[in-house]
Amino acid sequence: MNIERSIRTIAGTFVLVSLGLGIYVNHYWFLFTAFVGLNLFQSGLTGWCLMADILKKLGVPEK
């Protein structure tokens, strides 16, 4: 699995988990969902993603 697929998988997991936590635990978890969305938006505009940098350092292949 390359970095791009890993980022999509991680972001999707974060969104689904935070939605579940927001529904069943505390509505403040929806702020985490918004945070993930804002990071995806920022990454789309700037081309820089912190998670990509982290995954590169962990040795995940780029392509």
pTM of the entire predicted model: 0.86
| Over residues 36-49, mean pLDDT | 96
> What does pLDDT average to over the chain?
96
Q: Is the predicted pLDDT of residue 31 greater than 90, yes or no?
A: yes
Residue 57 binned pLDDT confidence (cut-offs 50, 70, 90): very high
Is there a contact between 3 and 52 (Cβ–Cβ < 8 Å)? yes
Helices (H), the chain: 3-24, 30-46, 50-57
List the domain boundaries for the chain. 3-57
DSSP 51: H
Give the pLDDT confidence score for residue 63 in this predicted structure. 82
